[in-house]
Chain A
Amino acid sequence: MKIQWDWIAGNLDEIAAATLDHLVLTLIAVGVGFALSLALGLAAYRWRRLYGPIAGVAGLIYTIPSLALFALLVPFTGLSVLSAEIGLVSYTLLILVRGVVSGLDGVPRDAVEAAAGMGYTARGRLARVELPLAVPVIIAALRLATVTTIGLVMVTALIGEGGLGQLMLRGFNRSFPTTIYVGVVASVALAVALDLALVGLQRLLTPWTRARAA
């Protein structure tokens, strides 16, 4: 089980392309998933009765094994980026909807009441008070969803996508461990990089969480 460094040196372009591919698949999945989850989460926050069904459906999807989900999609959307993304987005929903709703639920009631009493409109209150205060919980959910998605993108190699998953699949098929190692290391690096980026975003958005009692 030796790593063939010369293969790595000779195929840096391909590794970079696979990594970029992986990154793009992840960002699209998390981006679209977040947009949907924000809408669903706000709806569930506003109309409590929706929360059960929304969380139930998202939870149901989450229990479907990923391989099976992608296989189910192929007859409808083919071996395509679309199939991959439909699956990937679906898996982010449970984590992200819960993140949005519990983030909003965690906003101190007194702050919400004060905002209403001082004459914020419902929309202004959401934008200026509730969502900003939900940011830490929402970003925690985004970090979890992002890392999970990076792992799931690997699986989409089986329907012809997969970024770094393609490299790893090749390693398995040809008993060529070097590409497996490359895939593992690159995906871990990608996960760490995106996680750090989200931590940075949170620091930027929530300076108040670092203010400590004097």
Chain B
Amino acid sequence: MQHEGEPERMPDRATGRAATVTFEHVTKHYDRRDRERGTAGAVNDLCLAVPAGKICVLVGPSGCGKTTSLKMVNRLIEPTSGRILLDGADAAARDVTELRRGIGYVIQQVGLFPHQTIAENVATVPRLLGWPGARCRERAEELLGLVGLDPATYATRYPVQLSGGERQRVGVARALAADPPIMLMDEPFGAVDPIVRERLQDEFLRLQESLAKTILFVTHDIDEAIKMGDLVAVLADGGILAQFGPPAEILANPASPFVARFVGSDRGLKRLSLSRVADLELLPPVTARAGDVGTDELRRALAGSFPWLLLVDELDRPVAWIARDEIRPGAPLAAAHAAPAAPLLDQRATLKDALSILLDADVHAGIVVDRTQRVLGLLTVGAIAGLLRETVRGDGREPDGTGGEGTGGLGTGLDR
């Protein structure tokens, strides 16, 4: 829609400036003043390295210091000792208001200003930075569009006139307003019902694909952590880092009984939604072309546990299933009496989706195809069950070698 203004406006767009965030032996002790102010837990020698452009989720039971850790980044809470580096520069050395204006901040209760319109709320930081009024308005409208709220409808409303989900969107838009390289999100989708939460999560992940901000995200919900995080830091009581790594790794190899308990006994199932069909080794199918003649070799090849022949066309696209017993040596293989070639699975589908499709199908194997519908292999329920067993076998097992709950174990990135 913009014409001549477009080129100059480019720099203020949310174009994925990002910074690294590094916690170096950060400790925050309880003291009397903290308790009076009701701020949560202590943090104990926290070391974390969050690469630029990634979502790092801090997750743990209440009082584990995850919110404290977050608030030390924008210095709403000052660490007792240790340093927090933003792009290598010590946050403590920077002017505190200037620091905060460069960090997006979203909290659970959203904290919109009830006396300001939605557009004024969104333009808060640009206004603090002294942008001219017209540019603030323009930016507010752009951001409302970005989070899926029509500016024409919402810009002039007040927060009280919005639903919970809409307010959370405005909170995200407000945090993004000055295109900060870092965002802190403290249970940003915590105050809405599960259906709205899931939609907001999906939308935010989609947004993050293009924004590529460095995001520290606090939640007490392990499912949300696994879904949102590129990296997950599991914190235990007393603000001790129990494990830090990609969600799949935490599900597959919990570093301690605490982490295993925290991620839940259904972590095998959780892992399914993180793994994709392409991650598993596929069963090579026994195939034949339509019109080929049945042979004893074919019958012998199907003598194993999976007695189905897959009929394919000349481009290797699936046509039909033929049962081993239907194959007569010398007789042409025909699709006429065969079962339809189903179900088809996209190799990018999650194992969770694949499993539910497989459980619903007559033939308990899915035909995994690529983008041109060419057969890549077969996926059986048995193969998925194998992965589940492999995960569950890890349960109750002692952490290996590194001492588990300490900070050294699974790589904080600092020792590299």
Contact = CB atoms under 8 A, between A and B. Distances in A.
B167 to A, nearest CB: 11
A113 B107 contact: yes
Interface string B59-80: 0000000000001001010000
A12 interface: no
A108 B111 CA distance: 8
A214 interface: yes
A208 interface: yes
Contacts of A214: 157, 161
Interface of A is mostly: helix
A118 B112 contact: no
Contact of B111 (A110, A206, A213): A110
B76 A117 contact: yes
Contacts of A118: 100-101, 105, 124-125, 128, 174-175
A111 B111 contact: yes
Contacts of A108: 109, 111, 114
Interface in A54-69: none
Contacts of B115: 129, 132-133, 206, 208
A211 interface: yes
Given A108-B111, A110-B110, A213-B160, A117 B116 contact: no
Interface of B is mostly: mixed
A124 B101 CA distance: 13
A114 B128 contact: no
A117 B107 contact: yes
B160 A110 contact: no
B97 interface: yes
A127 to B, nearest CB: 12
Contact of A121 (B71, B97, B103): B97
A208 B125 contact: no
Contact of A119 (B97, B157, B161): B97
A119 B175 CA distance: 11
A114 B116 contact: no
Contacts of B128: 118-120, 124
B131 interface: no
Interface in A115-164: 115-121, 124, 129, 132-133
Contacts of A174: none
Nearest to A48: B36
A181 B97 CA distance: 61
Given A113-B111, A114-B105, A119 B125 contact: yes
A212 interface: yes
Contacts of A133: 113-115
A113 B158 contact: no
A149 B157 CA distance: 38
B179 to A, nearest CB: 14
Interface in B154-189: 157-158, 160-161, 174-175, 184
B98 interface: yes
Contacts of A119: 97-102, 125, 128
Nearest to B159: A208
A118 B111 CA distance: 11
Interface in B83-113: 97-103, 105, 107-113
B113 A115 contact: yes
A114 B114 contact: no
A117 B175 CA distance: 10
A117 B100 contact: yes
A208 B113 CA distance: 10
A147 to B, nearest CB: 26
Contacts of B103: 117
B112 to A, nearest CB: 7
Contact of A208 (B101, B114, B175): B114
A211 B100 contact: no
B67 to A, nearest CB: 11
Nearest to A124: B128
A119 B128 CA distance: 8
A132 B158 CA distance: 14
10 contacts: A108-B111, A113-B107, A114-B105, A114-B112, A118-B124, A119-B100, A208-B116, A208-B158, A213-B160, A213-B161
In the A-B complex, list the 8 residue pairs whose CB atoms are closest, starting with the nearest.
A114-B111, A119-B100, A119-B101, A110-B109, A110-B111, A117-B105, A211-B158, A119-B97
Interface of A: 108, 110-121, 124, 129, 132-133, 206, 208, 211-214
Interface of B: 71, 74, 76, 97-103, 105, 107-116, 124-125, 128, 157-158, 160-161, 174-175, 184
Given A110-B108, A120-B97, 13 more contacts: A108-B109, A115-B124, A117-B76, A117-B184, A118-B100, A118-B101, A118-B124, A118-B174, A119-B98, A124-B128, A129-B113, A133-B115, A206-B115
